[in-house]
Amino acid sequence: MQFLSYIPRRIARFSTKNLLRLTGAVEEFHALYYRQASRTWQNTFWIGTPIWKFPLDLWVYQEICTEIRPDVIIESGTYKGGSALFLAHVCDALGKGAVVSIDIESRPDRPQHPRITYIHGPSTSSLVVKEMQNIAHNASVVLVILDSDHSKDHVLREMELFAPLVTVGSYLIVEDTNLNGHPVVPEFGPGPMEAVREFLQKNHDFAVDSSREKFFLTTNPSGYLKRVR
């Protein structure tokens, strides 16, 4: 117990220089973790299904779901269905919620679960957007996670289309804002981070919730957007 009481005092004495050094260490580890994809994030599974997420972000996702208890979780970008299955199991634990996952590819081997509905088509198409509007219409709490095409223009369009579906107090989570040098893949070009910045310049209903980055390592820096009004 004496050791635990000592920790806050040590943190309080952190100088700006030490904090900058810590930030540098986090970015270096982030880059290492990302570059070693075949042994880290591309080698991560949920109940045997590939799930290309950082585990610390998944932990944050279940915390958010536990706090807001969503009726509907809309996910763009399904891949092999690992994150959809993870979110469905979180909903199982909470005793409520459904997952709607959108992807341009149809994969017959994706995991099946009573809470999961797979939608085949472009996330920004008028038909898909209309279907999402119908699904979200009667839901009290709607959470949206964007993880499809990571080009800036596509992400920004998704944000503009799906943001109105997010309920106040819930989140619009924009994944992979770490691309284009934030801090990985500097050659990527304008991507999710740039889309978030432009979106927030025009939309004041959302604010970055930096508390969701508490574990330091996240693929979504500045990407946890909470609807505040």
Which one, of 119, 141, 146, 115, lies nearest residue 130 by Cα?
119
Strand partners, 104: none
Q: What residues have CB less than 8 Å from 21, skipping those under 6 apart? A: none
The per-residue pLDDT for range 119-149, each reduced to its tens digit, is 999 999 999 999 999 999 999 999 999 999 9
pLDDT, position 13 = 59
pLDDT, position 188 = 98
The per-residue pLDDT for range 17-67, each reduced to its tens digit, is 676 677 899 999 999 999 999 999 999 999 999 999 999 999 999 999 999
Rounded CA separation 147/133 (Å)? 19
Please say whether the beta carbons of 176 and 147 come within 8 A. yes
Rounded CA separation 210/207 (Å)? 9
